[in-house]
Amino acid sequence: MTQNAPATSLLDELRWRGLLADFTSHAAEALAAGQVTGYIGFDPTASSLHVGSLVPIMGLVHLQRAGHCPIALVGGGTGLIGDPSGKASERALLDKAQAEENARGIHRQLSLFLDFESRTNPARMANNLDWLSDMGMVDFLRDVGKHFSVNAMLRKESVKRRLDEEESGLSFTEFSYQLLQAYDFRELATRFGCTLQMGGSDQWGNITAGIDLVRRMGGPRCHGIVFPLLESRGGVKFGKTEAGTVWLDPERTSPYRFYQYWLNTEDADMVRYLRLFTLLGKAEVHELAQATSKNPHRREAQRRLAAEVTRIVHGQEGLDRAVQASRVLFGGSVEGLGADEIAEIFADVPSKTIAKSRLEAEGGLPLAPLMAEVGIASSGSAARRLIKEGGVYVGGVRVTDVRATLAAADAVEGRFVVLRVGKKRHCLLDAGAPI
């Protein structure tokens, strides 16, 4: 993933992949003229990135593959304030230690995608805490603020829209945020010769503000490239599921869930996603598109997409386990499985341990409350509703009685019970003594 491809034009590559929304007018010449150092900022609001960050990450990957030098800037300083755009509620402020820890986590994840060891064009991490934390208010206003015309800032589309909106105002913090981001660009230009900033298309204003600031402060001509924002389909934001955000951190989102997320991509998004999130070439993407239209039920494209992305993030081993678990859970009846096989996939599939005595209790263990307890249903009522609707399965067999109970006989090898809700939600219960 990190080896350098023959230097095709970065812009062309981004364009056919659907990663190019816009770029400043001289970006193409600058990229053609030689090695460029470019950066993208990441907010360290959590210790892990999520799949929503994959677009900018891939932006850096393509930058590096085209022979340029990527910088991942962690907004340790700006994160202390938070870019409030589009935020409905006040963001919890991070303390420094937390921000640092998050930065480390993000660095680790970026290492999966970027080559920090390359001799010719290594990737680099930077943290704007390094320059923002010691900067005084007065210095900032004098050295940076003076280069910003409030008139011009007010004319920016993003600002104008907010001012015109009757509902949401524009806080001073939000208004000033672009100064901080612009200053980041200036620092990166000075320290690392960085002359390119990339980001989501919502960052266009902040990026051009940075370009202007660098120039005003006597720096080189800089450039910007923005990616399209992934729109949400039918109200579901990209990267979210009913279970919440899909993270890159295996502790937060298991490789199995991660794999499943991609596997469930709808046909209409397949080709687009293959181009956006994998490094497969035109021929392969075309082939997979053909496969989808000819034999849709095989879901070849989905499998490939899920495999590619999962392998990068969780390694071959993580992918293998996810595939294995998927095969077991979706491959038919779970009843034929041995305890060993089930135990193996426990690591990745949502699971709970319950006391064996409860299964052996007189009258059995009531199913509905148990479902609430282990979290596969949100409440006992919800569980009963699901049973009434015919959406609950124990060991692959539909449960029809609202007052159904579990007994030792329901467990594979007297130990494992496989609960399923709908087609996709599984929960493994382990009633065995720990080894």
Q: Which residues of this protein are in contact with RNA, per CB under 7 A?
A: 166-167, 169, 234-236, 242, 260, 263-268, 292, 296-297, 299, 302, 326, 330, 366, 368-369, 372, 378-386, 389-391, 402-403, 421-425
Which residues, other chains included, contact 298 with Cβ-Cβ below 8 Å and sequence gap of 6+? 291
Task: Provide, rounded to whole angstroms, the least separation between the CB of residue 378 and RNA.
Answer: 6
- Backbone φ and ψ of 151, nearest 5°: -55, -45
Q: What is the DSSP string of 215-265?
A: HHTT----EEEEEPPPPPBTTBPTTEETTEE-BSSTTTS-HHHHHHHHHT-
* Closer by beta carbon to RNA, 282 or else 424: 424
* Closer by beta carbon to RNA, 220 or else 296: 296
Task: Provide, rounded to whole angstroms, the least separation between the CB of residue 162 and RNA.
Answer: 12
Report the b/e string of 316-354 with b at 16+ CB within 10 A: eebbebbbbbbebbeeeebeebeeeebbebeebbbbbeb
Task: Provide, rounded to whole angstroms, the least separation between the CB of residue 150 and RNA.
Answer: 21
* Closer by beta carbon to RNA, 177 or else 262: 262
Which residues, other chains included, contact 133 with Cβ-Cβ below 8 Å and sequence gap of 6+? 77, 96
Task: Provide, rounded to whole angstroms, the least separation between the CB of residue 338 and RNA.
Answer: 20
* Closer by beta carbon to RNA, 148 or else 262: 262
* Closer by beta carbon to RNA, 18 or else 391: 391
Task: Provide, rounded to whole angstroms, the least separation between the CB of residue 435 and RNA.
Answer: 28
* Closer by beta carbon to RNA, 193 or else 422: 422
**Which residues of 344-398 form beta strands (DSSP E)?**
351-353, 365-366, 392-394, 397-398
Task: Provide, rounded to whole angstroms, the least separation between the CB of residue 269 and RNA.
Answer: 8
CA 88, 89, 90, 95 dihedral sign is: negative
Angle between helices 282-294 and 267-277 (to 10 degrees): 160
